[in-house]
Amino acid sequence: MNSGIRFDAVSVAYGGNVVLDSLDLTVEPGEVMALLGPSGSGKTTALRAVAGFVRPVSGRVFLGGRDVTELPPYRRGIGMVVQQYALFPHLKVAENVAFGLKAQKAVPRAEIPGRVAEALDMTGMAAYAGRYPRELSGGQQQRVAIARALAIRPSVLLLDEPLSALDAQLRSGMLAELARLHRELPDVSMLYVTHDQVEALTLADRIAVMDKARLQDCGTPQELYRRPRNEFTASFVGNANLLPVEVRTGGGVRFGEAVLKVDTGDAAAGSAATLCVRPHLVGLGEGPNALRGTIREVQWRGSTHRLYVEVDGRPVKADVRELRETPVLGAPVTLHFASQDAVLLGAGVGSGG
Amino acid sequence: MLVHSRAGRWATWAGFLLLFVPLFAVPLLVIVAASFSTNWSGVFPSGPTVANYGAAVRGESLQALTTSLVTAVAASVFALLFGSWAALAAAALRKRGKRALDALFMLPVAVPSVVVGLAVLVAFSRPPFLLNGTPWIVVLAHTVLVTAFAHQSVSAAIVRLDPVYEQAAASLGARPAYVLWRVRLPLLLPSLNAAAGLCFALSMGELSATMMLYPPDWMPLPVQIFTATDRGSLFTGSAVAVVLMGTTLLVLLAVSRLRTRASFR
């Protein structure tokens, strides 16, 4: 079956308030696409438009090449997993998983128990088939919810912040589970809505970064992390130092007093731009692209020290390997970074992408 | 706890009992005491007897009891049916339509029940809707009166019902009717159950509207109690009243047992 999701200029508005602004996005068959953004960025609305719970004011939604914009949710054939699990409290685990199969009447009755067992096996919940959802922990409930969504063998799986209600340790375990499920079900396209960059970086084949009802950037996790196209992506996908710089004639940029050698591409000389440097790529001591400043704050994080250094009145973050001696506040310090680790962004959010 | 000192707590309890016992418990106890006596001229009743109960569970009293039970069960079933249907329909409406429907169902409660009784009598005394003289007119009046409570209780439960369940069901391919039958109604069951109990209790005790329209061969128990005491048979009336009270409480107890099994959270 041909799967995949396509948004074609989809806009959603609630009473004149635009919550999704002309979204164009394609999720390839078998691809995991993460919709990453802060709350209110429109990412959940985009997912709900695919599920059929919100009707776009304009644009079309395609599932596997079929225009589903006008179809009610129950005729779209999607699997959905939400943050609150939404398991039916009056049904046992096996009945919850069988719900979609019974409702659709697409599968002969005799085959249902086998399909249920298969789905529960896949999520490691076979031993709990006879329990009620209230007798399970949060992580177990979410596994059952995933099994319930997979039992109908959807070509598209929608995941709406599925791990947000779990604690940190459980979350990383479930993340590995989801990655395994993706490997076992290579034909299922997944749309994964999250505000957590780690989940998106770990799981997604591509990430669509959303903010203020718009798509800001889209690319593979590596692309977005190493070569962000705008300030929003740089700061939302991973941690970033965003330094206001001025492009110099003859290459390089000026940051306060310091002259930094970085690739300026085709940026016009004299124009203002933003330099993005990841804190963990900033080193301590003399080197190329040296920045001199004073230490304002030191955080010990076990394996690393996070230094907040004030350079020309601007804070610069540096994550360095744990230091034997904790630096003294107010002490002068020199930082450096390699030219290829810096990315020059166009000034202001959006102009780069 | 609101009151911390031990003396304060005792005083609160004493105050509470002083208010509660005379207002709520004593009148009911008086009825029970009267039902076991033949005479009450001093402070306490005299002439203990169980003969009143002999009369209360025989003949026309027994018939009135079955009449009441049948009426109350029928009225509760109809009220639940119409009330839930209307509440489910109202939930899909916009705010204004919902409010109009709410007001419509509350009307019989806001209007004095004597007026409701008279209105039903006048409205259904003529063809094509000739119900006067049949048991149906009593059932109809009770249904009109108690549907408000069923509607109120079910619509409150629908508002509390998290839409994620319906949406999860819909995403799994369930049609709206299937979602209603397999997800929404089961989740509403505890409220439906509570509403059924309430409707039954209200119908069992309904007097004023019933008085306006009951046919001679369909006399519910409250009317029987009223006529008995009106004739001066105070002690027989008390015994019948105790039977009414006991039956209602028994049914409510049974319903509440059902409720604990039906609630899943």
Q: Are A334 and A299 in contact (CB under 8 A)?
A: no
Residue B142 lies in a domain: yes
DSSP string, B226-261: HHHHHTT-HHHHHHHHHHHHHHHHHHHHHHHHHHHH
Query: Do B168 and A103 count as a contact with CB atoms less than 8 A apart?
Result: no
Instruction: Give B-chain residues touching A103 at CB under 8 angstroms.
Output: 169, 172-175, 178, 182
Q: Which chain B residue is nearest to residue A84, measuring alpha carbons?
A: B164
Instruction: Give B-chain residues touching A136 at CB under 8 angstroms.
Output: none
What is the H or E stretch that residue B38 is in? strand B37-39
Q: Which chain A residue is nearest to residue B188, measuring alpha carbons?
A: A90
Query: Do B186 and A152 count as a contact with CB atoms less than 8 A apart?
Result: no
* Shared domain check, B148 and B17: no
Distance from CA of B184 to the nearest CA of A (A): 10
Query: Do B174 and A103 count as a contact with CB atoms less than 8 A apart?
Result: yes
Instruction: Name the domain count of chain B.
Output: 2
Q: Which chain A residue is nearest to residue B170, measuring alpha carbons?
A: A74
Instruction: Give A-chain residues touching B193 at CB under 8 angstroms.
Output: none
**How far is CA A252 from its chain centroid?**
32
* Shared domain check, B111 and B21: no
Question: What was the pLDDT predicted at B63?
Answer: 87
* Shared domain check, B105 and B174: yes
Residue B157 lies in a domain: yes
Distance from CA of A51 to the nearest CA of B (A): 7
For residues A295 and B212, give the distance between their C-alpha atoms in angstroms, rounded to a whole number: 91
* Shared domain check, B243 and B187: yes
Cβ-nearest to A51 among B171, B264, B265: B171
* Shared domain check, B239 and B112: yes
Q: Which chain B residue is nearest to residue A134, measuring alpha carbons?
A: B265
Quick one: what percent of chain A has pLDDT higher than 90?
57
Residue B83 lies in a domain: yes
**What is the pTM assigned to this prediction?**
0.81
Cβ-nearest to A100 among B164, B173, B265: B173
* Shared domain check, B148 and B41: no
Query: Do A72 and B187 count as a contact with CB atoms less than 8 A apart?
Result: no
Question: What was the pLDDT predicted at B264?
Answer: 53
* Shared domain check, B81 and B21: no
Summarize pLDDT for A254-289 with one digit per residue, the tens.
888 888 888 887 788 888 889 999 999 999 988 888
* Shared domain check, B21 and B71: no
Distance from CA of A240 to the nearest CA of B (A): 37
Res. B44 pLDDT band, cuts 50 70 90:
confident
Query: Do A99 and B169 count as a contact with CB atoms less than 8 A apart?
Result: yes
Quick one: what percent of chain A has pLDDT higher than 70?
97
List the domain range (segments joined by +) for residue B138: 52-264
Cα-flanking dihedrals φ and ψ of residue A351, to 5°? -70, -20
Summarize pLDDT for A135-182 with one digit per residue, the tens.
999 889 999 999 999 999 898 999 999 998 888 888 888 899 899 999
Summarize pLDDT for B124-159 with one digit per residue, the tens.
888 888 888 788 999 999 999 999 999 999 999 998
Tokens of B33: 């005491």
- Please report, as a single letter, which amino acid is at residue A95: E
Summarize pLDDT for B227-257 with one digit per residue, the tens.
888 888 888 888 888 889 999 999 998 888 8
Residue A310 burial class via C-beta count within 10 angstroms: exposed 0-12, middle 13-18, buried 19 and up: middle
Closest CA to A280 of A320, A226, A312: A320
Residue A246's SS3 state is strand
Residue B13 lies in a domain: yes
Residue B1 lies in a domain: no
Quick one: what percent of chain B has pLDDT higher than 90?
29
Query: Do B168 and A52 count as a contact with CB atoms less than 8 A apart?
Result: no
Domains and CATH numbers, chain A: 5-226 (3.40.50.300), 239-346 (2.40.50.140)
Question: What was the pLDDT predicted at A170?
Answer: 85
* Shared domain check, B119 and B207: yes
* Shared domain check, B63 and B29: no
Query: Do B174 and A99 count as a contact with CB atoms less than 8 A apart?
Result: yes
Quick check: A56 pLDDT over 90?
yes
Summarize pLDDT for A321-332 with one digit per residue, the tens.
888 888 889 999
CB pairs below 8 Å between A and B: how many?
77
Chain B residues whose C-beta sits inside 8 Å of any chain A C-beta: 162, 164-165, 167-176, 178, 182-183, 186-187, 189, 264-265
Q: Which chain B residue is nearest to residue A132, measuring alpha carbons?
A: B264
For residues A334 and A212, give the distance between their C-alpha atoms in angstroms, rounded to a whole number: 38
Strand ranges, E, within chain A: 5-14, 17-27, 32-36, 58-63, 66-67, 78-82, 156-160, 189-194, 206-211, 214-219, 241-247, 253-255, 258-260, 272-277, 283-284, 291-300, 304-311, 314-321, 332-336, 342-346
Closest CA to A97 of A72, A73, A130, A139: A130
* Shared domain check, B130 and B234: yes
Closest CA to A272 of A264, A281, A284: A264
Quick one: what percent of chain B has pLDDT higher than 70?
97
**How far is CA A215 from its chain centroid?**
13
Instruction: Give A-chain residues touching B169 at CB under 8 angstroms.
Output: 88, 99, 103
Rounded to whole angstroms, the maximal C-alpha distance in chain A is 77
Summarize pLDDT for A288-332 with one digit per residue, the tens.
888 999 999 999 888 889 999 999 888 999 999 888 888 889 999
Cβ-nearest to B171 among A73, A84, A90: A73
Q: Which chain A residue is nearest to residue B167, measuring alpha carbons?
A: A53
Residue of A88, A104, A136 for testing the chain B interface, max B β-carbons within 10 Å: A88
Distance from CA of B139 to the nearest CA of A (A): 34
* Shared domain check, B132 and B21: no
Cβ-nearest to B174 among A74, A86, A158: A74
Residue B152 lies in a domain: yes
Instruction: Give A-chain residues touching B187 at CB under 8 angstroms.
Output: 88-90
Query: Do A84 and B174 count as a contact with CB atoms less than 8 A apart?
Result: no
CATH number at residue B166: 1.10.3720.10
Distance from CA of B23 to the nearest CA of A (A): 41
